[in-house]
């Protein structure tokens, strides 16, 4: 069973039903809202992330309450949020007073909660490939961060000195996210171009291996005939890099076709695209401008 964390936040024990603390523009949060939609849950409403009023604390069956934690306003870099999610990242799922952190542990938790429709292939070889792609996807997440900050967010990704000081004070030394180390280098332009390019090449290697699997047997989903948790993780990853202007159609056409199929799904529309229109437009607009001036990801994509 996935990990159930026991956070210090006094809010958690008050929550009944499902509550998702997330940010609609963040791939890790999208993995969960996509899964919730595929499992048939509807976003009943959004409330302030720390709203503990009786009305906000109850999620009716078949729905979840969305509690947006703004990564733009840096709500995740506060002591109050760190009491809920000690690594200071989104998402967190709370179900009947129990909190689960780590997006893919949350997806696993939802699979146990609602086994139908299954997001694990029945066939052992396909299930093994799913696990492999999940592990790879978790590793590639670091590269997604570097690529999307450098080619997507640019200067908008920097944080202020006060936020940096707050992370220094609150982040646990053993946090797997290591936000302080990243922001200290990112804020000061101390990450060199080769590091960013290395992360892009790592991503392209992973996409290339999947392109070959699509080419070999024309499978509709990453692991075979049905949607799995690997598709969930990878769809959110490809969306972010697509938003940053990566030319998937030209470089990885079969992966691009798969992504189009994912985009057409009702669960992806409802769980990911509909709530994320503003961020999506901002990213795409910036990418189009860079392409126009001959820069951006299209210029450095592998030939
Ligand atoms: N391992 C974590 C990673 C979560 C994560 O990196 N979340 C990002 C958004 S995708 C975040 O909150 N970043 C905050 C920041 O970069 O300041 C998970 O899968 O849940």
Question: What is the per-residue pLDDT across 35-86, written as a single tens digit (0 to 9) for each?
Answer: 999 999 999 999 999 999 999 999 999 999 999 999 999 999 999 999 999 9
Residue 22 CA to ligand 1 centre (angstroms): 10
Nearest to 81 by CA among 49, 45, 47: 49
What pLDDT score does 227 carry? 98
Q: Global pTM?
A: 0.96
- Whether ligand 1 lies within 6 angstroms of the CB of 103 is answered as yes
CA distance 18 to 61: 8
What pLDDT score does 290 carry? 87
Neighbours of 57 (CB within 10 A): 19
β-pairing, 98-101 with 63-68? unpaired
Residue 67 CA to ligand 1 centre (angstroms): 16
**What ligand 1 atom has the least distance to the C-alpha of 144?**
10
**3-state DSSP of 60-98:** CCCEEEEEECCCCCCHHHCHHHHCCCCCCCCCEEEECCE
Residue ID of nearest Cα to ligand 1 atom 13: 89
**What ligand 1 atom has the least distance to the C-alpha of 90?**
12
Residue 190, pLDDT above cutoff 90: yes
Nearest to 94 by CA among 115, 76, 113: 113
What pLDDT score does 293 carry? 85
Three-state secondary-structure class, residue 56: coil
CB 115 within 8 A of CB 124: no
**What ligand 1 atom has the least distance to the C-alpha of 106?**
20
CB 65 within 8 A of CB 20: yes
What pLDDT score does 159 carry? 97
Residue 6, pLDDT above cutoff 90: no
Residue 98, pLDDT above cutoff 70: yes
- Classify residue 53 by its DSSP letter: S
CB 233 within 8 A of CB 31: yes
- Whether ligand 1 lies within 6 angstroms of the CB of 28 is answered as yes
- Whether ligand 1 lies within 6 angstroms of the CB of 227 is answered as no
More confident residue, 214 or 290: 214
With bands split at pLDDT 50, 70 and 90, how would you rate the model's confidence at 262?
very high
- Whether ligand 1 lies within 6 angstroms of the CB of 24 is answered as no
Mean predicted lDDT score pLDDT of the chain: 95
Q: Which helix (H) or strand (E) holds 18?
A: strand 18-22
DSSP string computed for 144-211: HHHHIIIIIIGGGG---HHHHHHHHHHS-TT-SS-HHHHHHHHHTT-S-HHHHHHHHHHHHHHHHHHH
What pLDDT score does 1 carry? 54
What pLDDT score does 184 carry? 97
Residue 2, pLDDT above cutoff 60: no
- For the segment 149-166, the average pLDDT, to the nearest whole number, is 95
Residue 159 CA to ligand 1 centre (angstroms): 15
CB 59 within 8 A of CB 18: yes
- Whether ligand 1 lies within 6 angstroms of the CB of 71 is answered as yes
With bands split at pLDDT 50, 70 and 90, how would you rate the model's confidence at 7?
confident
Residue 27 CA to ligand 1 centre (angstroms): 8
With bands split at pLDDT 50, 70 and 90, how would you rate the model's confidence at 3?
low
- For the segment 15-27, the average pLDDT, to the nearest whole number, is 97
What pLDDT score does 130 carry? 98
| 284-301 residue pLDDT tens | 999 999 888 888 898 899
Residue 250 CA to ligand 1 centre (angstroms): 29
Strand partners, 16: 58
**What ligand 1 atom has the least distance to the C-alpha of 101?**
20
With bands split at pLDDT 50, 70 and 90, how would you rate the model's confidence at 249?
very high
Residue 217 CA to ligand 1 centre (angstroms): 34
Peptide bond into 223 cis (omega under 30): no
Residue 90 CA to ligand 1 centre (angstroms): 5
Neighbours of 262 (CB within 10 A): 22
| 119-136 residue pLDDT tens | 999 999 999 999 999 999
Neighbours of 288 (CB within 10 A): 11
**3-class SS shares of the chain: helix, strand, coil, % to 5:** 55, 10, 35
With bands split at pLDDT 50, 70 and 90, how would you rate the model's confidence at 302?
confident
What pLDDT score does 294 carry? 83
- Whether ligand 1 lies within 6 angstroms of the CB of 275 is answered as no
- Whether ligand 1 lies within 6 angstroms of the CB of 179 is answered as yes
- Whether ligand 1 lies within 6 angstroms of the CB of 76 is answered as yes
Maximum pairwise Cα distance, the chain: 56
Nearest to 237 by CA among 215, 252, 261, 259: 259
Residue 216, pLDDT above cutoff 80: yes
- Whether ligand 1 lies within 6 angstroms of the CB of 166 is answered as no
């Amino acid at each position: 069973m996935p990990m159930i964390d026991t956070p210090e936040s006094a809010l958690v024990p008050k929550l009944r039903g499902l509550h998702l603390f997330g940010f609609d523009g963040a791939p890790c949060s999208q993995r969960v809202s996509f899964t919730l939609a595929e499992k048939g849950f509807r976003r009943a409403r959004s409330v302030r992330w720390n709203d503990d009023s009786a009305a906000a604390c109850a999620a009716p069956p078949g729905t979840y309450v969305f509690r947006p934690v703004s990564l733009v306003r840096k709500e995740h870099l506060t002591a109050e949020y760190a009491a809920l999610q000690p690594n200071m990242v989104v998402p967190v799922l709370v179900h009947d007073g129990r909190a689960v952190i780590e997006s893919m542990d949350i997806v696993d938790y939802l699979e146990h909660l609602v086994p139908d429709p299954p997001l694990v292939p029945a066939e052992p070889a396909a299930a093994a490939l799913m696990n492999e792609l999940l592990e790879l996807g978790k590793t590639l997440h670091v590269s997604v961060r570097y690529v999307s900050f450098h080619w997507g967010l640019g200067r908008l990704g920097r944080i202020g000195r006060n936020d940096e000081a707050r992370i220094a004070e609150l982040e646990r030394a053993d946090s797997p996210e290591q936000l302080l180390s990243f922001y200290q280098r990112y804020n000061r332009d101390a990450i060199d171009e080769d590091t960013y390019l290395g992360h892009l090449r790592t991503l392209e290697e992973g996409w290339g291996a999947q392109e070959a699997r699509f080419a070999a047997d024309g499978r509709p989903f990453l692991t075979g005939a049905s949607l799995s948790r690997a598709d969930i993780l990878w769809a959110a990853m490809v969306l972010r890099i697509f938003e940053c202007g990566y030319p998937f159609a030209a470089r990885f056409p079969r992966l691009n076709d798969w992504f189009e199929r994912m985009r057409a799904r009702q669960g992806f529309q409802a769980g990911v695209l509909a709530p994320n229109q503003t961020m999506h437009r901002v990213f795409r607009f910036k990418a189009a401008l860079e392409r126009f001036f001959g820069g951006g990801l299209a210029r450095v994509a592998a030939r």
